[in-house]
């Protein structure tokens, strides 16, 4: 990998002295102990000079005897690669750190940074190549790396959050199926985490977005209704989940009610379109079935949202049902009169 290819080049600036006597810079003959070189590396990194920081960290990791200083240097090397936006290399180096120091107090932080590096790589893109020929930059490598990290470390405190972030990334890209898959994982496998609050909300939004892209299919609308109604029904339970679940519920419950209002309106609009079609076909009895369904659905909606506004679909249904009934009675009377003749 690029990390290995650059290691020898970067190590040229600082070299270990024979007998473990610290490090020397051949170009300036400056000498530093391992502790001094580590402080130098971190100072150069804080100053934004990532190349000089890495030039000090590589020989520290390679030449320092196994121990706490070498462990620290390895973690800081991976962290420096991350801060330099070299996410592909950072991901690899954090994983090497975890494998070498699985019991380190920094191991959990390394796993989290590894996931963040993969997510950033997906957002930034990575230039794939075939037979050495560079192709277009894609998000595939970053996504695959994040999924691999989540499979290896599914029970960290932050794992649910990264499934959530991956779902949000897919949502922003308009990949509704992949987004729903990630939010569903959070909802089903991390139901006791605060992240399940946002996942349930996002499942509703994702279903709505599916409908917006294919508005002839009512199933996404019905799915959105199910998720939003579930959110309102389970709001009290979700408030008791670990922080910041309560704050998230309070912040989202109004938005969920607003989205549910829109979903209800869309559902009624789809039903009234069908009713109007049968009106146009001069099949009032078929139309009446859908007008009655509108009033029934409206009554059901009001049990969840008492302030749900009266829609044009409901007003039309209330007007057309008596009219159709009157037409039916007129036809029956006309038929009776014909029979009497």
- Segment 200-213, tens digit of pLDDT: 999 999 999 998 76
Mean pLDDT on 118-142: 79
pLDDT of residue 135: 61
- Whether the CB-CB separation of 145 and 121 falls below 8 Å is answered with yes
Res. 286 pLDDT band, cuts 50 70 90: very high
pLDDT at 339 over 70: no
pLDDT at 187 over 70: yes
pLDDT at 293 over 70: yes
pLDDT of residue 123: 95
Which among 154, 155, 247, 150 has a CA at the least distance from the CA of 197? 247
Res. 263 pLDDT band, cuts 50 70 90: very high
Using CA atoms, how far residue 108 sits from 85, 94, 155, in Å, is 21, 10, 11
pLDDT of residue 277: 96
Angle at 249 between CA 243 and CA 252, to 5 degrees: 135
Using CA atoms, how far residue 276 sits from 216, 314, 326, in Å, is 16, 13, 18
Q: Lowest mean pLDDT: which of 22-31, 43-52, 119-128, 209-218?
A: 209-218
Give percent of the chain above pLDDT 90.
Answer: 80
pLDDT of residue 13: 80
3-state secondary structure of 287: helix
Task: Print the SS3 string covering 217-267.
Answer: CCHHHHHHHHHHHHHHHCHHHHHCCCCCHHHHHHHHHHHHHHHHHHHHHHH
pLDDT of residue 128: 66
- Provide the strand spans (E) within the chain: 15-16, 23-25, 30-32, 126-130, 133-138
pLDDT tens track for 211-260: 876 566 789 999 999 999 999 999 999 999 999 999 999 999 999 999 99
Q: Report d(CA 187, CA 201) in Å as an integer.
A: 10
Domain boundaries, the chain: 1-84
pLDDT of residue 337: 65
Res. 152 pLDDT band, cuts 50 70 90: very high
pLDDT of residue 74: 98
Residues 6+ apart with CB under 8 A from 268: 294, 297, 298, 311, 313, 314
Which among 127, 198, 202 has a CA at the least distance from the CA of 170? 202
pLDDT tens track for 4-34: 445 444 445 898 887 667 999 988 889 999 9
Mean pLDDT on 59-64: 92
pLDDT of residue 21: 76
Give percent of the chain above pLDDT 70.
Answer: 90
pLDDT of residue 213: 60
Please state, rounded to an integer, the average pLDDT across all residues of the chain.
91
């Amino acid at each position: 990998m690029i990390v290995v290819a650059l290691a020898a080049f970067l190590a040229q600036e600082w070299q270990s002295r024979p007998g473990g006597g610290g490090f020397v810079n051949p170009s300036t003959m400056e000498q530093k102990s391992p502790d001094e070189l580590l402080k130098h590396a971190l100072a150069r990194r804080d100053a934004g000079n990532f190349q000089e920081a890495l030039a000090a960290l590589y020989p520290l990791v390679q030449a320092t005897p196994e121990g706490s200083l070498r462990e620290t240097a390895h973690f800081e090397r991976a962290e420096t690669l991350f801060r330099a936006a070299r996410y592909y290399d950072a991901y690899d180096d954090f994983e090497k750190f975890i494998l070498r120091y699985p019991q380190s107090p920094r191991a959990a932080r390394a796993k989290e940074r590894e996931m963040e590096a993969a997510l950033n790589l997906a957002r930034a893109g990575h230039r794939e190549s075939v037979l050495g020929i560079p192709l277009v930059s894609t998000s595939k490598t970053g996504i695959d790396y994040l999924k691999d990290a989540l499979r290896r470390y599914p029970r960290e405190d932050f794992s649910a959050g990264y499934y959530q972030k991956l779902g949000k990334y897919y949502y922003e890209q308009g990949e509704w199926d992949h987004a729903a898959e990630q939010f569903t994982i959070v909802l089903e496998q991390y139901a006791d985490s605060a992240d399940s609050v946002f996942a349930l909300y996002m499942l509703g939004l994702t279903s709505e977005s599916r409908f917006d892209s294919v508005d002839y299919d009512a199933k996404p609308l019905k799915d959105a209704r199910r998720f939003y109604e579930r959110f309102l029904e389970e709001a009290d339970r979700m408030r008791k989940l670990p922080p910041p679940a309560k704050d998230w519920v309070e912040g989202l419950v109004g938005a969920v009610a607003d989205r549910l209002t829109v979903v209800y309106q869309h559902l009624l609009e789809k039903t009234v379109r069908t009713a109007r079609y049968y009106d146009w076909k001069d099949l009032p009895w078929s139309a009446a079935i859908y007008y009655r369904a509108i009033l029934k659905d409206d009554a059901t909606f009001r049990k969840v949202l008492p302030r749900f506004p009266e829609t044009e679909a409901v007003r039309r249904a209330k007007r057309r049902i008596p009219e159709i009934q009157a037409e039916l009675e007129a036809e029956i009377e006309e038929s009776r009169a014909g029979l009497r003749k």
